Amino acid sequence: MLGAAPVITFLATTDTARSRTFYEHTIGLTFVSEDSFAMVFSAAGVMLRIVTLLSFTPLGMTVLGWMVTDLAGTVTALTARGVRFEKFPGMTQDDAGVWASPSGAKVAWFKDPDGNLLSLTEF
């Protein structure tokens, strides 16, 4: 039933201006609009709505991720823009924070300014 319907993704922020700078300028999403409910970005045609809340606690898991074709290059470019990649105890990650999964996919994680955990995956 919903297999052909476009997906809308949602995240939360407590600081709209800071979040807009991060999503638009730091990681390069296309800003679409802003109203009293949310900021809207396009991520390769997928709508991302970032809702402003007075407070929230980020989930302890990945909430949004991107498939990339050059993980090392993307990590390097984002690091140059000030993004810090996460390293997790008990996981074997390289110096850049990249983990090689058992399936062969490579994954790196980073947080937005509100602590939402985001990921990059190269299959």
pLDDT one-digit tens code per residue, 69-113: 999 999 999 999 999 999 999 999 999 999 999 999 999 999 999
Paired with 119 in beta bridges are 65, 109
- The token pair at 96 is 């850049």
pLDDT one-digit tens code per residue, 13-39: 999 999 999 999 999 999 999 999 999
User: Position 27: which residue type?
Assistant: I
pLDDT at 29: 98
Percentage of the chain modeled with pLDDT above 70:
100
Task: Name the residue among 95, 122, 92, 94 with its Cα closest to residue 107.
Answer: 122
Interatomic CA distance for residues 55 and 79, integer angstroms: 28
Per-chain mean pLDDT for the chain? 97
What CA–CA distances, in Å, run from 10 to 1, 22, 37?
21, 15, 12
Interatomic CA distance for residues 103 and 123, integer angstroms: 9
